[in-house]
Amino acid sequence: MKLSKNLIFSYKLILVQSTMVIAMISPLFAAENIGVPQDYQMIFQDAATPNMVDITWFHNLFLFPVMLAIALFVTLLLIYVMFKFSAKKNPKPSKTSHNSLIEVLWTVIPVIILVAISIPSFRILYTQQAIPVDADLTVKATGYQWYWGYEYPDNDAIYFDSLPLEEEELTEGKIRLLSVDNPLVVPAGKVVRVQITSSDVIHNWAVPSFGVKMDAIPGRLNETWFKVDKPGVYYGMCSELCGVRHSFMPIEVHVLEQNDYNNWLNMAKDQFANNNYFQNNKQLVRLVN
Ligand SMILES: [Cu+2]
């Protein structure tokens, strides 16, 4: 009776683990997506920056196999123990309570695994944090309850608000809850330094395909960077719970070829530059008054 219970338990364990493995591997073969989440997606979007390439490699080809190997090893060990030392097969249990060799092994091997994981992990963390000194462009993203404001301090202080499109404004190619009226526009193949802050509560500027996720904190200026070679539209969202309309502050980044970017810049200078900052920023007006 006990054995059959054990059997059912081990079958369940195998079933749960194999379902988890299939669920985690299948998105690796998902169709091409650039900067857009896909239906039933479970892991990363396609990488658009060198940092995200590293992060994807680290997860898919390093952490995931290590995790899989450990999970399989522990599962097999459990199954082995359940059969080998069941009450039926092993009626007189051993009274062993210490085994120096095994204790050293189960301490040293996990330490080696953790050190091996930490080396690429620290390298990736460092490249994310170290802003290249020769950044080609600086943009500033400010989080407001509940939209983003973008500023180009190097280009006549261009400033504009970026609000999500309402459902009736959605045209062909626009995505509900991801498309905005004024997207952030940057040139392709250039290092973009992003300064991130907030005017009210903590927000978070996150674009998954860039491997970028940085808190926007009132009174602080955080920095991150990205370099996207492939022109296209990339999406992200505020990733810090910031209030009732937290899910309505998407991020849309247009990466343009240099020529197209220059054209946009000229247009933006006409439209957005040197405007009265307070007029543009209703939130600040409210705070000041
Ligand atoms: Cu937010």
Pair (260, 141) in one structural domain: yes
Ligand 1 midpoint to CA 248 (Å):
8
pLDDT at 249: 94
Same structural domain for residues 152 and 236? yes
Number of structural domains (the chain) is 2
pLDDT of residue 102: 94
Please tell me whether residues 151 and 119 are part of one structural domain: no
Ligand 1 center from residue 273 Cα (angstroms): 25
User: Are both 63 and 174 inside the same structural domain?
Assistant: no
Ligand 1 centre and the CA of 129: distance in Å? 22
Which of 113, 129, 145 terminates a domain? The answer is: 129
Angstrom CA distances, 227 to 69, 131, 135, 191, 196, stand at: 34, 11, 9, 5, 17
Instruction: Say how many Å lie between the CA of residue 197 and the centre of ligand 1.
Output: 11
Cα 205 to ligand 1 centre (Å) = 8
Span from the CA of 165 to the centroid of ligand 1 (angstroms): 16
pLDDT value, residue 31 = 26
Distance 119 CA to ligand 1 centre (A): 33
Query: b/e per residue, 129-160, with b = 16+ CB within 10 A?
Result: eeeeeebebbbbbbbbbbbbbbbbeebeebbb
Q: Which two tokens stand for residue 267?
A: 């247009």
Q: Note whether 192 and 259 are same-domain residues.
A: yes
Please indicate, yes or no, whether residues 142 and 115 belong to a single structural domain of this protein. no
pLDDT category at 200 given cuts 50, 70, 90 is very high
Give pLDDT, residue 14. Answer: 52
More confident residue, 273 or 255: 255
Contact 143, 199 (CB under 8 A): yes
Ligand 1 center–CA 152 separation, angstroms: 21
DSSP string, 204-226: EEEEGGGTEEEEE-BT--EEEEE
Residue 121 Cα, ligand 1 centroid: separation in angstroms?
27
Examine the domain organization and report whether 121 and 93 are in the same domain.
yes
Confidence of residue 30 (pLDDT cuts 50, 70, 90): very low
CA–centroid distance, 252 to ligand 1, in Å, is 14
Does 106 lie in the same domain as 20? yes
Q: If you measure from the C-alpha of residue 204 to the centroid of ligand 1, how many angstroms do you get, rounded to a whole number?
A: 6
* 11 and 149 part of one domain: no
pLDDT of 2 over the 60 cut? no
Band of residue 12 on the pLDDT scale cut at 50, 70, 90: low
The whole-number average pLDDT for the span 147-166 is 91
Span from the CA of 88 to the centroid of ligand 1 (angstroms): 59
37, 58: one domain? yes
pLDDT of residue 5: 55
| Structure token digits, residue 22 | 């299939």
pLDDT of the residue at 121 = 96
Distance 75 CA to ligand 1 centre (A): 41
Same domain, 34 and 92: yes
Between 43 and 148, the higher pLDDT residue: 148
Q: Which tokens in the block code for residue 166?
A: 């309402």
d(CA 130, ligand 1 centre) in Å: 25
Question: What is the greatest pairwise CA distance in the chain?
Answer: 87
Could you tell me the CATH number of the domain that includes residue 276? 2.60.40.420
C-alpha 175 – ligand 1 centre gap (Å): 19
Out of 102, 129, 156, a domain closes at: 129
Domain edge (last residue) among 96, 129, 162: 129
- pLDDT, one tens digit per residue, over 56-113 is 999 999 999 999 999 999 999 999 999 999 999 989 988 989 999 999 999 999 999 9
Digit-coded pLDDT (tens) for 223-270? 999 999 999 999 999 999 999 999 999 999 999 999 999 999 998 888
- Residue 211: per-residue pLDDT: 94
Report CA(202)–ligand 1 centroid distance (Å): 7
Domain that holds residue 170: 137-288
Query: Which residues, chain by chain, have CB under 5 Å from ion ligand 1?
Result: 203, 238, 242, 249
Contact yes or no for 189/229 (Cβ under 8 A): yes
Q: What separation in Å is there between the alpha carbon of 151 and the centre of ligand 1?
A: 17
Q: What is the structure's pLDDT at 289?
A: 43
- Residues facing residue 143 across a β-bridge: 148, 198
pLDDT tens column, 206-216: 999 999 999 99
- Pairing of the two strands 137-144 and 191-198: parallel
- Under the banding of pLDDT at 50, 70 and 90, the label for residue 279 is low
pLDDT for 116 beyond 70: yes
The pair of three-digit structure tokens given for residue 189, joined into one six-digit string: 């193949």
The pLDDT of residue 190 is 94
Regarding whether 118 and 10 lie in a shared domain, the answer is: yes
